[in-house]
Structure 1
C-alpha cells in the first residue's frame, strides 16, 4: 500500500465515524510561548483541551506535521543511528472533545488496523496503565476490559507512568494512555524471543505505532492532579512507522516515504544505501547508511519549516532549523565526501512526493530550494574556517600525552568548534586522529553541560496555576472598535522568570488591548478602578487567552475596572502597520510577484519587513517603493475592513494569505485601494493618517531574504528635524558658505591633494629608512635579522619590509609601528627561510601579538598583527630573535 493511500484510508475511516477532517497546522508555532514547534498532533488543539475555545466539531481527525528536536521531546541525536526515529514526522490523529471516550477510541483503532489495514492480530501488542499510588490514579480497568474483548490477555501489557501516562507538559491536561505496538520480526525470530518482552525496549522491529491518550486530569503547578470538567480523547499514530508495517519492510527508510529521497542522494553522491538494515542506536552501523538517513530525514524537517515561514537563523526556532540542516551537511561532508551544496536538490523530490497533500511545499519549492542552497554554501565556508581554526589549535597546542607521546588539544577548544562552527565531537576526533592527536572527552562534556546549565538558568520560568475569579467566561476582544472599556478580572496567575522577574498575568471578561501577533506588538495601557490605576506593560495571547502583563495586582480583584489602551502608542503602531501593507504591495509591484512576506515587526517607533528577494535593492528601486507608498498616502485611501468572511472567499477575492500562518474558517480582510491582506492587526481609518513614509535601511538577513526598516508619521518628522539640525551644524563648521555642496567638494579635492603629498613624503621616508636600516641588519645563525620600531603608518611599514626584503636573501624582519597609538607588528620572512628554517610569518605575529594584547596572521612570508598595548612593543621586538636562536 503506497503511503498516499495509507494516509487517505486513515482520514476516510474517521470521516466515516463522524469526524471533521482538518488540515495540518504549520510546523512552526507562533501563538504558543511554551513551544517552538508542533511536537505532537494535539498541539494545535491545546485551547480546546484547556477549555479556552470551542472546537468547530467535537470529533476531528487529521495528519499533523510534527518536529521533535528540542525540549522534552528531542529525538535529534537518535536520527540516522536507528531506523525509526525522525526529526519531522507525520502524526495521524483522531480527537474527541468531550464526546466519545475509551470504548470508541480503542475499538475503532483495532478495527482500522486489523480490518482496514489488515495487520495480522498476532503481530500486535497493547498496553494499559498499571496505575500509580503516588498519583492516586488507579489501574485502568476500563481499558483492560475493552481490550480483553478484542485480543488475548497475554498480549496486553501493564505499563508504568513513564510509558502509559501522557502529559502535555509540566502543567496542563494529561491522562493514562493505551499504546499499540507492532512486531515486524520473522516467524523464526518470534519463536525464539517473545515480542511481549521487547515492547518499549527500543527494538527496531517491535515498535509503538499508535497511542490512545485518555485526557481526564489537569496537572497543577504543585504537581497534583485534578479532574477535567470533561473527558477527551487524544490519539497519535506514527505515519512513517505505519507505512513500514504495511509495506513489509524492516525500516521506515525502506518505505516509499523515504526511498525517492534516498535514490536522489545516491544519484547525486554515488553513495549506495543498503536496504533492510535493521539499525539500533546501541549497535555499530554502516557510516554511509547513517549519513544518508540523516540527510533524507533532515531535509524534510528543514524544507517544511522554511515553507511554513521559519528561516534558519542564529536564535530561537531559526537556530534549531539551522542546526538540523548543518547536521545533514556535515554528514554529507564527512561520510559521503561531498564538498559542494547538494541537499537543496532534494526539495524537488519532496515537493513532487508530498505536494498534493501539503501544497505549501509545492508552492514554496523554488524559495525553499534557494534558501537551503545558500545555507549549504555558507556552512561549507564555515566548515573551512573551522578546519583552519582547528589547524591553529593543533599548531598552538603544547600539551602531550606522556604515555602515548601524542598531542592533545583542550576539550573546551573542541567544544568551541562544535558551538561556533557546528563541528561535532566525532568530526573533530576524526581530524585529530589523522594527525595523531586527541582531545579530552571529559572537558568537552563539562563545557557542554555548563552551556546547558547557563541556558536553563536564563530561561527558567515558574508559573503558578490560574486563580479563577469568574468561571466559564469566554473572553472577547473589542479593540477594533474601542480603546477603553468597562471590564472585570476573570482569572490571574503569577509568573516568575530569571529574565523578567515576577510578573502577573491578568485575563479580563473583555478587552480593548491588542495582543501581540501578526508582527504587531501588544498594547500597553492602564487598568483603572475607583481607587487605583495599574499599569499594563504588555499584552500577549496564549492558547486563545489574552494575557495582560503587570508588575502588581490590584488590591481589590473583584472591583469594576476600565481598561484603557495607550492611544498614542496604538495610533503610531497602526500607522506603521498600514504602511507595511502598502509597502508589501509596492514591493510586489516593483520587484515582482515572487516577493512574499517572511516576517515583520510593527511597533510605535518603526516598521521592519522581511521578504523573499535574491538581490540587493538598488537606490532607484528603493526610491520607487517610497514614491509608491507615499502616492497611496496622498490618495487618502479609506480602510475597507471585512470581518468574519469565509477564508476561501477572501482568497478568491484577492486577499494575500501568508505561508506559515494558521487561519480559521472565517477571517478578517484589510483593504486599502488595491492592497488586500488577511490580517488581525490594528490599522488607520485612512492612509492620510500615515502622513509620510521613509525607508531608513535595506539589507540581507538570511539566504534569499531581504529586510527593510522604515518610519512613518512622527518618526519621519523627527528624522527631518534631525537632518536639518545636522546640516546647520555642518554649515557652521564650513564657516557658513553660500553653497554647502560646493564647499564640501572643494574640501574633498583638497584632501586628495594632501593625501598624495603625504603618500609621496612617506615613500621618501621609506627610502631613507631603508638606507639607514640596512646597515643595522645582523647575521644570527646564518639568518639576516632585524627587529625595530619605526615611525611609519602600517602601509609604510609594509612598503619598507618589501624594500628591505629585496636587498638579499635569508632575511627575517620584524617591524613595529605605533601610528595614532595603535600598535602594529609587521613580519617579513625570505622564501628561503620559509622552506629551510621552517619560519612562518603568520605564526611569528600570532606569538608576538600577545605582547601588544592583540593578534593577526597572514601568509608564511608576510603577516601582520594589531593590538591595543603600545607599551608591549619593546618586549615583542626582544622576543623576536628567539625564533632564530
Structure 2
C-alpha cells in the first residue's frame, strides 16, 4: 500500500511536469503516448488524466492513447519474456489451453474441493537476482517452490474492483500450498499465487481449497462499508459525488470520490455518524443477478467508466444503498460493527480520498489512541481528563518564558553595544549611527534599532552582527531623513554587497545578510560615503 501511494504521487508529479511542458510549448493536447505512459507506468486511468487536464484547459489525444495500448499488446504477444506478479512469465499464462476456465464458488462458501488443471512455476533467481530457470507450465511444484495453481472451481476471490484477492491454502493428499494472492487471468481463469509449504502439488490431483476465513470476513466488512460510505457522502456532500477508485483489504479501506474541496470536520463527523447509524440498523445485505437494463431501472449506482456484461450483481443494503458490484459482502450491516474515518485528503484536482477502518480494527485504533493519550498524560504528570488544561497551562508558561527570554536578549544586546551615541556622525545634515553588535540575530538587531532610533531622534541607523559565521544587517531611516533622500532598502543593498550578501526593503526599514563577517569593519567605515551618495 505504501508503495502504491508513492507510485501515485510520482505519477501526479509526472503529470504536472507534462502540464508545464505543454504550457512552455504553447500546446493544448497531451500526446497519446504520454497519456499511456501515465496509465501503464503509474496506474493513472485515462478518465482521471482527462479530468485533471480538462480543468486546466487541456485535452488528451485519445486515438494516440489507443494506438499506444495496441502497440503494447502486440509487443507483449511477440515478446519472449514479460514478467508478471512474483516474477511469473506472462507468456506462461498465455500458453494455457483456452478451454480451461475457473468457476468462482466463493460467495457462499469458503472451502471447496476441485481438480488442479494447471500449474506454472515462477522464475527462479540466484542471489544476484539473475534468472537461472524461467517460469513454465509444469506437472508439479515441490516444497519451497513458488508458482501459480489453477483449478476448475475455487472459493478464492481474485483481485478485482478494488477488492484485494483472498489468501489461504490448497491441500492435496501429497502436499500443502499457501495462497499468498489470488489474481484474475485472461480467459476467465483465476490464479492462486504462492508457495508450496510441504510435500508436492501435482497436476490432476484433487485439492481442498480453503480461504482464510478471518481475513475474508474483515475484507467483506470493509467492502460493505464502502457502499454505505458512498451513499452517506452523497447525502452529506451532494449528488455530484461519484466513486473514482477504491482499495478494500482485510485491514483497511480507501475510497476515492469526486468533490471540489476538502471536507470540513463537521462533514466528516456527519458522514461517519451516518454510516455507523446504518451499521447499527442491522440492514440486510441482499444480492440479485439482473440484466443490466433492469439493474439501471432500480437506480443502482455504477462505477463511472466501468464496463458491465449483460448480467450484473446488484447489492442492496436495506433501503439505504443499492449498487452494481461483483465483490463479496457481509450478510447484514451489523456485522461491520463499527466504522471510523482516519483521514481525508486530496489526491488530484477534484478528487478526494477517505481512508477508514471497520470492526475490530476500529477498537484496536481506539486502544492505540488511548495508549498515546495515557502516555502523554503521564509525561506531563497529569490525568487524561486534565491533559488539555495542562497543555494550555504549559503553552502559557512557554509564551511567558519566551517573552522573558526575548527581553533578556535585548538587554544583553544593548549592554554589549554600550554607549554608542558618541559614534553618531553627521552626513549632509543627517545623523548616521553605523555600529557592530557582537553575536546578535536579526530579530534582536531590529529591537535594538528601535531603541537607538528613539535616542537619535532623526537620522539613519545601520546595525551589523556576526553569529555562527553569518552576517545580519538592519537599516532604519526616520521620516525626516527620508525626505532628504535617505532610503533604507538602497543603503542596505550596497552595505550587504561589501559583506558578501544581498537584501533590500522599504524606505524606512530593511534587512540583509552576508557571508563575510571579516568585512564588517570596512562596511561600517564605508557607510558615510554610501549615505552621502544618496543625499547628493
Instruction: Give the TM-score, by structure 2 length.
Output: 0.67
Contact 2:252 2:356 in 1 (8 A): yes
Residue 285 of structure 2 is matched in structure 1 by: 639
* CA deviation string 1:619-651 (max 9, x = no partner): 2211111111111111111111113x2222211
Aligned counterpart for 2:89 among listed residues 458, 463, 467: 463
State the partner residue of 1:550. Answer: 194
> CA shift at 1:508, angstroms?
2.5
Alignment of 1:650-729 (within 5 A): 650-673=295-318, 674-729=320-375
- 1:444 matched residue in structure 2: none
1:814/1:825 contact within 8 Å kept: yes
State the alpha-carbon separation in 2 of the partners of residues 840 and 515 from structure 1: 70
Change (3 A) 1:507 1:769: same
Contact 2:243 2:257 in 1 (8 A): yes
Structure 1 734/837 Cα, relative in aligned 2: closer, same or farther at 3 Å? closer
Paired residue for 2:25, among 323, 331, 336? 331
Please, which runs of 5 or more residues in structure 1 have no aligned partner? 1-311, 336-341, 345-360, 378-455, 818-822, 846-856, 866-875
Distance in 1 between residues matched to 2:200 and 2:286, nearest whole Å:
42
1:748 pairs with 2:375:
no
Q: What does the per-residue CA deviation read over 1:329-360, in whole Å, with 9 as the maximum and x for residues that have no partner? A: 3323xx8xxxxxx999xxxxxxxxxxxxxxxx
Q: How many residue pairs end up in the alignment? A: 433
RMSD: 4.6
> 1:594 deviation in Å?
0.5
Offset at residue 749 of structure 1 (A): 3.5
Specify whether residues 369 and 461 from structure 1 end up closer, same or farther in structure 2 by C-alpha distance, changes over 3 A only: closer
SS, match of residue 356 in structure 2: strand
> Which residue number corresponds to residue 10 of structure 2?
315
Contact 1:827 1:844 survives alignment (8 Å): no
Provide the rounded CA distance (Å) in 2 between the counterparts of 1:535 and 1:752. Answer: 58
Which structure 2 residue ranges, 5 or more long, are not aligned?
1-6, 31-45, 59-81, 136-145, 425-431, 476-487, 527-536
Q: Is the 8 A contact 1:464 1:493 kept in 2?
A: no
Instruction: State the Cα distance separating 1:374 from its structure 2 match.
Output: 5.8
- Structure 2 Cα separation of the partners of residues 824 and 679 of structure 1: 64
Secondary structure at the aligned position of 1:561 is classed as: strand
Q: Are 2:496 and 2:513, in contact at CA under 8 Å, matched by a contact in 1?
A: no
State how far apart, in whole Å, the 2-side matches of 1:787 and 1:462 are: 70
Q: Cα 1:577–1:880, aligned 2, differ >3 Å: closer, same or farther?
A: farther
Cα distance, 1:684–1:732 mapped onto 2, change above 3 Å: same
Contact 1:525-1:537 at 8 Å conserved across structures: yes
1:494 aligns with 2:122: yes
Does the 8 A contact of 1:636 with 1:688 survive in 2?
A: yes
Inter-CA distance 771–480: structure 2 relative to 1 (3 Å threshold)? same
Comparing 685-694 with 609-618, which one deviates more in the overlay?
A: 609-618
Whether 1:560 and 2:206 are equivalent positions in the alignment is yes
**Which residue pairs with 1:507 in the alignment?**
150
Counterpart for residue 525 of structure 1 = 168
Shift of 1:484: 2.0
1:174 corresponds to: none
Q: In the alignment, which residue of structure 2 is the partner of 1:473?
A: 100
* Alignment correspondent of 1:448: none
User: What per-residue deviation string (whole Å, max 9, x for no partner) do you get for residues 200-234 of structure 1?
Assistant: xxxxxxxxxxxxxxxxxxxxxxxxxxxxxxxxxxx
Structure 1 residues 568 and 844: alpha-carbon distance in aligned structure 2, compared to 1, 3 A threshold:
farther
**1:111-150 deviations in Å (ceiling 9; x for gaps):** xxxxxxxxxxxxxxxxxxxxxxxxxxxxxxxxxxxxxxxx
Take 1:548 and 1:583, find their aligned partners in 2: how far apart are those partners?
31
CA distance in 2, matches of 1:462, 1:556: 18
Superposed displacement of residue 478, structure 1 = 1.7
Closer, same or farther: CA 667–815 of 1 in aligned 2, 3 Å:
farther
1:770 maps to which of 408, 414, 421 = 414
> How far has the Cα of 1:765 moved from its partner?
2.4
TM-score by length of 1: 0.42
Q: Does the C-alpha gap of structure 1 residues 505 and 839 become closer, same or farther in structure 2, counting only changes over 3 Å?
A: farther
